[in-house]
């Protein structure tokens, strides 16, 4: 944990001065994720993902960031879900990490692409067995008559994989990589003159700019 974060917890006490952020925004994302975890933020890797449905309407939901690399941010889901169908038509997304108790947020805009099947397999194999069964049983985002009907589907999938040591990944399930086009770091101030510093992708590098609150 950084000294500044551990010493100051009041709203508006952790500012973003010029030069206080790492020059590589992906490294800064990793740092803030680590600090959110160390500060006890519940689900620090939870992020609000916004997509554009095939009909042009925006939709948002919370997903979990499962990896940060120089290339971008990874999350996993059902490709046939509402977000999966949206991304097949409009591979543009916006993401927010909302760390309210730290008075911080990160806003990201970018494009998505599917990760390799090998990467999806590797992550799927780390999931609890119940979660793997659930991926087979649930037609994510589709209507269902009742909770009982859903539990029946889970029971059927459980029976189907009885005796199978490692439940395999269904083809409909896998990961996406968000390749950021812009990354904004936000820190709140009591005056509402919040600090906003945005990194904009330019070629192989990043241009930084301060935004007015």
Report yes or no: 48 and 98 within 8 Å, Cβ to Cβ. yes
Sign (positive/negative) of CA torsion 109, 110, 111, 114?
A: negative
Q: What single-letter DSSP state applies at residue 101?
A: G
163: left (phi over 0), alpha (psi -120 to 50) or beta: left
CB 77 within 8 A of CB 83: yes
β-bridge partners, 76: 175
Residue given tokens 């919370």 in the structure block: 62
The residues that are catalytic are 192
Tokens of 140: 């994510």
Q: What is the largest CA-CA distance in the chain?
A: 61
């Amino acid at each position: 944990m950084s000294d500044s974060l551990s010493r100051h917890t009041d709203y508006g006490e952790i500012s973003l001065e010029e030069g206080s952020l790492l020059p590589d925004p992906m490294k800064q994302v990793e740092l803030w994720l680590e600090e959110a975890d160390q500060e006890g933020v519940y689900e620090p890797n939870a992020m609000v993902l916004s997509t554009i449905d095939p009909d042009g309407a925006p939709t948002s939901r919370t997903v979990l960031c499962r990896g940060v690399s120089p290339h971008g941010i990874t999350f996993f889901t059902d490709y046939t879900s509402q977000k999966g169908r949206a991304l097949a038509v409009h591979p543009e997304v916006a993401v927010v990490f909302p760390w309210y108790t730290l008075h911080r947020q990160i806003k990201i805009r970018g494009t998505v692409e599917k990760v390799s099947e090998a990467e999806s397999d590797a992550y799927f194999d780390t999931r609890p067995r119940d979660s793997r069964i659930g991926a087979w049983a649930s037609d994510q985002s589709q209507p269902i008559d009742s909770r009982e009907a859903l539990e029946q589907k889970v029971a059927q999938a459980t029976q189907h994989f009885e005796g199978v040591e490692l439940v395999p990944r269904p083809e409909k399930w896998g990961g996406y990589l968000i390749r950021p086009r812009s990354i904004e770091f936000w820190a709140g101030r009591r005056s509402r003159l919040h600090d906003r510093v945005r990194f904009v992708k330019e070629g192989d590098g990043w241009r930084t700019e301060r935004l007015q609150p």
